[in-house]
Amino acid sequence: MDVGVALPQMAHGLDRERFLAWCAGIDDGPFSSVSAGERITFHNLEGLSACAAAAAATERVRVLVNVVVLPWHPVAMVAKQLATIDVLSAGRLEVAVGVGGRPSDYEALGASFASRHRRLDEGVAELRRLWSGGPASDGQPVGPSPVQPGGPPVLASAMGPKSLARCATWADGISGFTLLGDAGEAANGFGAAEAAWVAAGRTDRPRLVTGSFVALGPGARDTLRSFAEAYLHVFSPELAADLAAQMPLSDPKALTDLLDALEAAGCDEFIVVPATSDTAMLDALTDVVADWAARR
């Protein structure tokens, strides 16, 4: 199992200096990918821009856009942006797509919340058509051509049975998330995805990715809870406080126990989502993951 690291774009304090330090540390460390995702009504850096910068600032790790909320956007523009990142990364791009869970983000962008699942399905088909050289409205292709023939791999941030059944017709795998760092929850999701692939007549195995919020170092428990509560506040202050109090991944043993359990469950990659932009967190994480990998 690989371990990737999300840029701490959802934490405060991610300026240019820290951004470049995180990119360098991830690229030099025992990690498989660097990633960023989308959220609008929050203080985070914009996700596709962050991934483009990370593509230029790294040489080795894959660049994972995790996730693109495709129904927010004109598909041709997303196709062009993602192809650009694939070029800048020399073919290291991987993409996860989904419908998002916050109506406020749709409202801020003037995008309709209705029919979002259908628009996601149609959007993925259009991405692949454009990446393969299909013409846009003026009869000309939307460039640049991706380095990866036909475009980068596309994962789905699907969880429920209906979403999994839909994405099993077009996705290369799933990119999930376990808020409470629960290997059993993740394993159930993996099993559901594999079953959906079989039901769709697929003979290939889905790529299985999940992630969770993590903090390490002095004061990590408080850092993790404060971060999670702020991130989840949009859903309900009470729910956010309750879930934040249950966050377990604030010490090395909790993290390595989860890595062991996820690897046993067939996970292909675990994404660490840092609860702080402090580079001391990255130093601690590098040591923990290096030690975990060495004893496997």
Taking only the tens place, the pLDDT of each residue in 34-65 is 999 999 999 999 999 999 999 999 999 999 99
What pLDDT is stored for residue 269 in this prediction?
A: 98
Yes or no: say if 8 and 271 are a contact pair by the CB < 8 Å rule.
no
The H-assigned helical ranges of 29-115 are: 47-57, 75-88, 103-109
Yes or no: say if 191 and 267 are a contact pair by the CB < 8 Å rule.
no
The strand pairing partners of 4, in sequence order, are: 271
Average pLDDT (265-278) is 98
* Fold annotation for 2-295: TIM Barrel (3.20.20)
Query: Does the pLDDT at position 224 exceed 90?
Result: yes
- Residue keyed to tokens 């460390």: 29
DSSP 114: T
Instruction: For residue 69, give both structure tokens.
Output: 């909320």
The bridge status of strand 2-6 relative to strand 207-214 is unpaired
pTM of the complete model:
0.96
Angle, CA of 21, 255 and 10, to the nearest 5°: 45
The H-assigned helical ranges of the chain are: 16-28, 47-57, 75-88, 103-109, 116-131, 161-167, 183-199, 220-232, 237-245, 252-264, 279-295
